[in-house]
Amino acid sequence: MQIQENIPLAPLTTFGIGGPARFFALVENVEELEESLDFARDRQLKVFVLGGGSNVLVGDKGFDGLVIKIEIKGIEEVVGLCIAGAGERWDALVEYSVQKNLWGIENLSGIPGSVGGSTVQNVGAYGQALSQTLEWIEVYDTYARRVLRLAKSDCSFGYRRSIFKESDGRYIVLRVALKLSATGAPSVSYKDLREMFLKRSTPLQEVRDAVLEIRAKKFPNTRQEGTAGSFFKNPILSAAKAEALQAKYPEMPLFALPESTDIKVPLAWFLDYRHGVMDLRGVVVGGARMYEKQFLVLVAGKNTLAEDVKKLAVLVQKKVRETLGVEIEPEVKII
């Protein structure tokens, strides 16, 4: 393994902007990971672990520390489990499961990023979430300096939340095991999918194709414009606050959270000018703007600075606060 210096990070992220890493290491196994962590520890460097780069905004000055890119590969079936290395593309794992006719993550088709990063985020879409099928996660504990295997109950999963996101870099994901099913039916809580599949038996590949089609209509092509997908989390509100908002905006949908009295409200619904709550069309900061087909998405055109995206995000947060009295948080990691 080689520690490199002054490596551009923009090409390694879907936003495609931002400065370089002072030091950079690409690791393919635990031994290389330990070697890179020792390098950072000896020099008292900050460490940032990079997966697929689909949920991160790198600042214009870059990262003054060591960026570790996880490239641990491999997908296999072992005793009823589908096991993947953290460096695999998430959608490659979904595609593999569909080809093997294994149900459980097909609605998560097309989500960019790595398997490890998807675990940190507890990715979810169209009625499914990674945590629903997770059996165990193999991690490197940077405090204890050893490999651990964590059960789902150890991971504190929630909406866009996990112990990996909240432990300040203590755990680095190495491998993920999912328990998928050889039998199943389309998960159709999402309206567009329900209309397609509710009344007929559907091959698994058709479900994946439908999800990919829906995503293509809603999200920009990262080969043409920089983005990290949905930039903000949907707000989680108390039942009383959510009901007060719904009284003011009767058509606003509400989503109950499992094992909680709190309510998730769809930020995109409020940001969509067609609902008459707020209108941010045409708002541009430098080369950054809101995506016309999905208002949770911020995009970066040519010559956009990371600072442009940050300023646009602050502007959106301010507008939501003033209009709804609700604080919204970035889903994207800003470094």
Q: Just list the catalytic residues.
A: 160, 230, 331
In this structure, the strands spanning 255-256 and 226-230 are unpaired
Token look-up 């997966």 returns 51
d(CA 271, CA 290): 10
* Number of C-beta neighbours around residue 88 at 10 A: 24
* Number of C-beta neighbours around residue 113 at 10 A: 22
Non-local (6+) Cβ contacts of 313 within 8 A are: 231, 232, 298, 330
* Number of C-beta neighbours around residue 106 at 10 A: 26
d(CA 92, CA 72): 14
d(CA 243, CA 188): 25
d(CA 289, CA 107): 28
**Helix (H), strand (E) counts: the chain:** 9, 20
